[in-house]
């Protein structure tokens, strides 16, 4: 449940600070205020980790009451800019560490995986396993295809699945990640392949959303249903 920050701030400002424990027996006003505060703390936990909550709430109280801030707008802008820069620097370090860890794990996995029976390796580094041969046509980069698929991380976590949604995907072969574009052009209609995609043929150092970290090696089971 996401609530606008402005609503949460107003709710926090509407009650006085109290050390008492709030329960379902507390007053309605206290329960509402506590609930807003709890949800805000949970949803913005990353932003609030390095925040002095007493000073934070003091700022809310002063602003909501219309009083003049003890820090000028210029000073606030400066300190918030510095805070943003520090936060981004820390996030960059974490991102780089994840990228290095995932790159190493992916390299080790692919090195061992290519030794297994039935694993084929292309010049680009894409690895694939034929689960079922097809008998139809083979798509080109400009073809529109209909496929069923399931994508997993190396630890087995499923991050996307048209099979689970029970809704095949349709797209142009050239409009997906490089590992898919190459893999699909190896398949015939009706084929099922397992693609082991190195990070440089997937989402690289950027990653994709929260599910796919930087330099993640991905595993896809792909069934080419039809060339449209």
- Per-residue pLDDT of the chain (228 residues), as tens digits, is 444 554 444 444 444 444 578 888 889 988 988 898 889 888 887 777 778 888 888 888 888 888 888 888 899 899 889 888 888 888 888 889 999 999 999 999 999 999 999 999 999 999 999 999 999 899 999 999 999 999 999 999 999 999 999 999 999 999 999 999 999 999 999 999 999 999 999 999 988 888 899 999 999 999 999 998
Distance CA 219, CA 195 (A): 6
Domain ranges of the chain: 5-64, 97-227
Lookup: tokens for 199: 């990070």
Q: Which residues contact 205 (CB under 8 A, 6 or more apart)?
A: 99, 199, 214, 215
pLDDT (0 to 100) of residue 10: 47
pLDDT (0 to 100) of residue 43: 85
What predicted TM-score, i.e. pTM, was given to this entire model? Answer: 0.69
CA distances from 128 to 118, 124, 212, 224 (A): 8, 12, 20, 14
pLDDT (0 to 100) of residue 19: 56
Tell me which residue of 119, 97, 99, 118 sits closest to 110, measured CA to CA: 119
Rg (CA), the chain: 26
pLDDT (0 to 100) of residue 3: 44
What CATH number is given for 97-227 in this structure?
3.10.50.40
């Amino acid at each position: 449940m996401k609530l606008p920050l402005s609503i949460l701030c107003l709710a926090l400002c509407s009650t006085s600070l109290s050390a008492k424990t709030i329960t379902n027996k507390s007053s309605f006003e206290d329960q509402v205020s506590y609930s807003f505060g709890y949800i805000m703390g949970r949803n913005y936990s990353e932003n609030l980790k390095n925040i002095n909550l007493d000073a934070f709430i003091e700022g809310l109280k002063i602003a909501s009451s219309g009083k003049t801030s003890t820090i000028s707008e210029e000073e606030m802008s400066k300190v918030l800019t510095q805070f943003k820069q520090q936060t981004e620097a820390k996030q960059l370090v974490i991102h780089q560490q994840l990228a290095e860890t995932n790159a190493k794990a992916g390299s080790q996995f692919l090195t061992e995986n290519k030794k297994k029976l039935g694993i084929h390796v292309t010049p680009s580094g894409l690895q694939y396993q034929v689960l079922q041969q097809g008998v139809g046509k083979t798509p080109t980069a400009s073809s529109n295809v209909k496929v069923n698929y399931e994508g997993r991380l190396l630890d087995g976590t499923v991050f996307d699945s048209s099979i689970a949604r029970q809704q095949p995907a349709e797209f142009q072969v050239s409009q997906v990640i490089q590992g898919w574009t190459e893999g699909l052009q190896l398949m015939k209609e009706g084929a099922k392949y397992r693609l082991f995609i190195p990070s440089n043929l997937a989402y690289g150092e950027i990653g994709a959303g929260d599910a796919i970290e930087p330099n993640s090696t991905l595993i896809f089971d792909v069934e080419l249903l039809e060339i449209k």
